[in-house]
Amino acid sequence: LFPVSTPGLTQLPGFARGEEEALLAAVEAVIAMAPWRQVVTPGGKPMSVHMSNCGAAGWVSDRRGYRYSAVDPLSERSWPAMPGCFARLAARAAAAAGFAGFAPDACLINLYEPGARMALHQDRDEVDFSAPIVSLSLGLPAVFLWGGAARADKAARIELHSGDVVAWGGAARLNFHGVLPLREGVHPLLGRRRINLTFRKAL
């Protein structure tokens, strides 16, 4: 495990350290309104990660496909508003990574318990690929797979810890990436969980 810098990928280790408790409280407030759910892929398989969203749009998946929706299919109401501490952190991190003026309109919240993983994929459901994506990790550490423009490109492994932020855009915006199965562990604040927030400009 080693830090990598690829064109378009910036790691900001510990960028949110010290804010984790406040950020977690904001996550829990969102989850009280839009609870965790396990979505199915268009192929019909449930993902091992549990998800929710906040902001003007949320990422959803079902038998019909992947897309952003202004409405939570569980409640049939708008997603919870993006907490101010999320939007501010995302904008500060994006600016530090060279993407000034980033204003996310969607935040996908992923919950990993030991064994949960995310297969190699591209994030391509957003309308405008010129905006970066900013990711915040909370809780148990995870090994992130950072691939290239083609699925077959060899992926680097990056360990992400609680409070780490990663931003990617430009030439790397459509790179393949994934998360290895979460290892067993207990985090002082989150217990047996990892929560990952990805801030996006979806619309």
User: Which spans of this chain sit near ligand MD5 (rule: CB under 6 A)?
Assistant: 9, 108, 110, 118, 123, 133, 135, 144, 166, 168, 175, 177, 179, 196, 198
Query: What's the min distance (Å) between Cβ of 66 and Fe ion?
Result: 11
Residues 6+ apart with CB under 8 A from 2: none
Q: What is the 3-state secondary structure (H, E, C) of 121-133?
A: ECCCCCCCCCCCE
Q: Which does 179 bind (CB under 5 to 8 A by kind): Fe ion, ligand MD5, none?
A: ligand MD5
Note whether 123 binds Fe ion by CB under 5 A: yes
Query: What's the min distance (Å) between Cβ of 153 and ligand MD5?
Result: 12
Name the residue nearer to Fe ion (CB basis): 56 or 120.
Answer: 120
Is there a contact between 120 and 144 (Cβ–Cβ < 8 Å)?
Answer: no
Say which residue the tokens 């360990």 belong to: 159
Name the residue nearer to Fe ion (CB basis): 33 or 156.
Answer: 156
N-to-C CA span, the chain: 35
How many CA atoms, within 13 angstroms, populate the side-chain half-sphere of residue 38?
A: 11
| Site residues, Fe ion (CB under 5 A) | 123
